[in-house]
Amino acid sequence: MLEPESDTSEDKGAKIRILETLVKVDGVKFIPDAARASLYRHAIKQLAKAKDTSYGWNDEERAAKALIQFGPHVPSIAFEDVYQEILTVWVGNYWGRSDAHLVLRPFLDVLNSNQLMALSRLFVENERANSELVSSRPKRRAIELLETIKR
């Protein structure tokens, strides 16, 4: 990673410009997994923060759009962190859900059968992923997703 003291640019924004360039040229996938996992975890924290905010649906959509810029191929070491938040957005809450779930659909579309099984287990084993399932709407959406996976 670029160390702040080695950034000789006037605005000290070299790290941001490098990341923006990698996103533009679809080069994020060439970053080593540990560094990519850090990017995904940072982005997913913003999504979690938006999900936990009252009236945060617009923030959820912005955070989802920021996350999808890195591409849907999540490093395995960040799988649970990322997908627990994707599932919470996917099922929504008692009041409904934002359109962020539409933005996040590519993350589900790229999963192989082993990853789909791991994703399914998150509803049972992960407290964050199953926290909204006490309400009927989120529970119904979770069941619909699991039915889709089953096919």
- Which is nearest to 82 in space by CA: 53, 54, 51, 107? 107
**Would the pLDDT of 33 be above 80?**
no
Q: What is the domain count for the chain?
A: 1
Q: Determine contact, residues 78/70, Cβ cutoff 8 Å.
A: no
Q: Is residue 115 part of a domain?
A: yes
Residue 7 forms part of a structural domain = no
Binned at pLDDT 50, 70 and 90, residue 67 comes out as very high
The predicted structure's pLDDT at residue 28: 59
- Asked whether residue 63 is assigned to any structural domain, the reply reads yes
Residues belonging to the chain: 151
Q: Within a domain: residue 78?
A: yes
Per the structure, the complete domain to which residue 78 belongs is given by 13-150
Residue 1 belongs to a domain? no
Whether residue 66 is contained in a domain is answered as yes
- pLDDT of residue 112 exceeding 70: yes
**pTM of the predicted model as reported, rounded to 2 decimal places:** 0.82
Q: Is residue 2 part of a domain?
A: no
* Structural contact between residues 70 and 43, judged by C-beta atoms closer than 8 angstroms: yes
